[in-house]
A and B are shown apart, each in its own frame.
Chain A
Amino acid sequence: EIVLTQSPGTLSLSPGERATLSCRASQSVSSSYLAWYQQKPGQAPRLLIYGASSRATGIPDRFSGSGSGTDFTLTISRLEPEDFAVYYCQQYGSSPRGTFGQGTKVEIK
C-alpha cells in the first residue's frame, strides 16, 4: 500500500517569499500520477496541479509542480496573501488509488 508523507507539517513564511513543499511516496508513483490541492479554512479543496507538473485551469503560474518516482515538490514562487492555506498531495496511479498525504500548512510568519 502506497503512503504519502508531506513535509514540513507547517511552513512559516512571509508574503513574497518562496515556498517549497515536499511529498514523498513509500513506493514509486505510476506515470507521475500525482496531484496537489489547496484548501483554505471553511472551503473545499481546489485542484492546483495534476500529472505532477501540469497546472489546472485558472491556476496562477507562481504555482509549479515537479518530481517523479517517489519525490515530488510543489513550489510557490512568491507567496501572495491568498496562498496561505493547507496543501495536500494525492497519488492516483497505484493501489489504493486516490491516496492523500496528511497536508502541509503554509502560515504567515
Chain B
Amino acid sequence: EVQLVESGGGLVQPGRSLRLSCAASGFTFDDYAMHWVRQAPGKGLEWVSGISWNSGSIGYADSVKGRFTISRDNAKNSLYLQMNSLRAEDTALYYCAKGVGSSLVLYYFDYWGQGTLVTVSS
C-alpha cells in the first residue's frame, strides 16, 4: 500500500524558514517523480514544485520560485521542501504527491499524503 506521510508544518513568522518532509513507502521511491501541492484554507489546489526520480529535473511554480527548494533522498525514501522567506500567502495545507512516471513530463498525481499545515503569521 502506497503511503505518503508529511511532517514539519507549523506556525512561523513572516520572513522565516520551514522545512517540510515526506516519508514514502509501499512503492519503489526512486522510480518516480515527486511533487508538492498546496491548498490554502477553503481554497483550491496549487502545484508548488516537482522533482524527477534522480533530481535531474526540478520545477517550481512562479509564486515560490527563488524562495522554495525541493529535494529528495532516495536512500531514505524521503522528499523535502525547504521554504524560505515565508509570506502570509504561503499559508496552506501542503501535500506530498506521487507522480506517475520518473520524469517531470506528466504533472499529474496518483497518490497523495494527508498534508501538513503551514501557517505564516506574526
List residues of chain A with CB under 8 Å of any chain B CB.
Answer: 33, 35, 37, 43-47, 50, 56-57, 88, 90, 92, 96-103
| Residue contact B44 to A88, C-beta cutoff 8 Å | yes
A56 to B108, CA, bound (A): 11
How does the 8 Å CB contact mask read for B102-117 relative to A, with 1 for contact and 0 for none? 0010111111111100
Knowing A96-B61, A96-B62, the reply to whether A44 touches B113 (Cβ < 8 A) is yes
| Residue contact B112 to A90, C-beta cutoff 8 Å | no
For B109, the chain A residues whose CB sits under 8 A away are 45, 47
| Residue contact A103 to B44, C-beta cutoff 8 Å | yes
Q: Give the residue name and chain of the A residue nearest to B113 (CB).
A: A44
Q: Give the residue name and chain of the B residue nearest to A49 (CB).
A: B108
Indicate the size class of the contact surface on chain B: 20 to 34
Q: Give the residue name and chain of the B residue nearest to A97 (CB).
A: B107
The minimal Cβ–Cβ distance linking A23 to chain B, given in whole angstroms, is 13
A99 to B48, CA, bound (A): 10
| Residue contact B110 to A98, C-beta cutoff 8 Å | no
Knowing A44-B114, A47-B108, A47-B109, the reply to whether A97 touches B59 (Cβ < 8 A) is yes
A45 to B45, CA, bound (A): 9
Given contacts A100-B46, A101-B44, 18 further A-B contacts (CB under 8 A): A37-B45, A44-B113, A45-B45, A45-B109, A47-B110, A50-B108, A88-B45, A92-B106, A92-B108, A96-B47, A96-B62, A97-B59, A97-B104, A97-B107, A98-B61, A98-B107, A100-B47, A103-B44
Interface residue ranges of B5-48 to A (CB < 8 Å): 35, 37, 44-47
12 residue pairs A–B, Cβ–Cβ below 8 Å: A44-B112, A46-B112, A47-B110, A47-B111, A90-B108, A97-B47, A98-B37, A98-B107, A100-B45, A100-B47, A102-B44, A103-B44
Interface residue ranges of B88-109 to A (CB < 8 Å): 95, 100, 104, 106-109
Q: CB < 8 Å: which of B45, B100, B110 contacts A90? A: B45
A44 to B115, CA, bound (A): 7
